[in-house]
Every structure is written in C-alpha cells, then in structure tokens.
C-alpha cells in the first residue's frame, strides 16, 4: 500500500491532543495542502483562518462549552463532558474554513478540509474535523469573534479542523469500513 492510501486508512478523528504547538513548517505544509485543493471552476470559494494561538482556541472552546451548557440539548452537553469537557480536545491549532456562500462553496470547503487532515496525517500529526466550531462562531459573541478572527465580508463558517500531536489517551483505531454502504453497478 502506498503512503497516501496508508494515511487515508490509518487516519481517525483524534479527541486527545498533547497541546504542544506545531512548527511553522508543519503549519505551512498544512496551509499549502489546503490551498492545493480543487474547486468547481477553480473559483476557490473559501477563506482560511489559521489559529495557532492556543489561548484563542481554548477561549473558543470555553465559549462553545458555555453555550452547550445553557442549551436544551443536555444529552449532547453530557456527552462532551464525558469526553473531558472540551470541544477542541486541547488542540493547539485550528483552521477555520469559511465559505463565500456560492453554489459549490460548502462542497469545495469539504474537499479542502480533507486535504488538511491528510496533510496532518502525512506529517505524523493527528486531526479532527470540527463542525462544532460553529457553536461559538454563531453564538452570542459571534460578531466579536468574526472581528477578532478577521472574517472577510460575505464569508461564513463552513467547517473547522483541529490539528496537533497525539495526547496520552488519544490513540484509537480508524473506523471499520462498511461495505454495505457501497453499490457497484
């Protein structure tokens, strides 16, 4: 099996990061991989917000958990508490992928997201795709966060990815492939 296929097969959603910062080289490789993603008609309907300030990631995390605690979905909040009470699992790095709202913007953002997680895996890092980044970004402090994170006008959160080094309890097996979800004609 070649290395790309191995990275795809071995990648899993990590929910325990060591908190150790990424190197500038690792960050640049992730950004380059993201920007290399294909898009419909090469319109590149995205904008990337790279957060390498762990304190800011932690602030977004705390705000998201506060919103969950105050929500009516107590089961989801309890599930997050059982996982350590953190949305972003102590990750030191987050990439927010913003979409311009165009017809293919969300699909193209998802393609870019896959490049990010595979670039992380190729560097021996772990990752997790986090739609839950939308919780604090759409909460009571959304305008403040949009300003601090310098969201361009007309762009909205599509998906986030957290990346970091594996924590002590984070190793797990990738999910089992379910061939019943495939039809070959």
Residue in the structure block whose two tokens are 């009470």? 85
pLDDT of 177 reads 86
Dihedral class, residue 105 (left if φ above 0, else alpha if ψ from -120 to 50, else beta): alpha
All domains of the chain, ordered by start, with CATH?
Answer: 3-60+87-171 (3.40.109.10)
Predicted TM-score (pTM) of this structure: 0.93
* Cα–Cα nearest to 129, from 106, 156, 162: 162
Query: What pLDDT is stored for residue 170 in this prediction?
Result: 65
Q: What DSSP state is assigned to residue 169?
A: T
Q: What is the DSSP string of 72-125?
A: S-HHHHHHHHHTTS-SSTT-SEEEEEEE---TTHHHHHHHHHHHHHHHHHHTT-
Residue ranges of the chain with per-residue pLDDT less than 50: none
Alpha-carbon distance of 72 to 65, in angstroms, equals 13
pLDDT of residue 175: 81
Instruction: Provide, for the chain, the percentages of residues in helix, strand and coil under a 3-state DSSP scheme, each rounded to the nearest 5.
Output: 45, 15, 40
Q: What is the pLDDT of residue 176?
A: 87
Instruction: Report d(CA 19, CA 42) in Å as an integer.
Output: 35
């Amino acid at each position: 099996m070649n290395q790309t296929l191995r990275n795809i097969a071995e990648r899993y959603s990590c929910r325990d990061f060591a908190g150790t910062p990424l190197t500038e080289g690792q960050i640049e490789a992730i950004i380059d991989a993201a920007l290399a993603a294909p898009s419909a008609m090469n319109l590149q309907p995205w904008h990337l917000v790279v957060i390498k300030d762990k304190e800011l990631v932690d602030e977004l995390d705390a705000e998201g958990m506060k919103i969950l605690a105050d929500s009516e979905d107590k089961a989801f909040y309890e599930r997050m508490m059982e996982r350590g009470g953190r949305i972003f699992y102590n990750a030191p790095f987050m990439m927010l992928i913003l979409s311009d709202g165009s017809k293919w913007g969300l699909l193209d953002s998802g393609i870019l997201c896959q490049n990010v997680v595979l670039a992380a895996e190729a560097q021996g890092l772990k990752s997790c795709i986090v739609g839950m980044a939308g919780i604090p970004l759409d909460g009571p402090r959304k305008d403040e966060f949009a300003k601090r994170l310098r969201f361009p006008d007309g762009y909205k959160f599509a998906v986030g990815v957290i990346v970091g080094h594996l924590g002590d309890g984070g190793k797990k097996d990738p999910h089992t492939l379910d061939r019943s979800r495939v039809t070959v004609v």
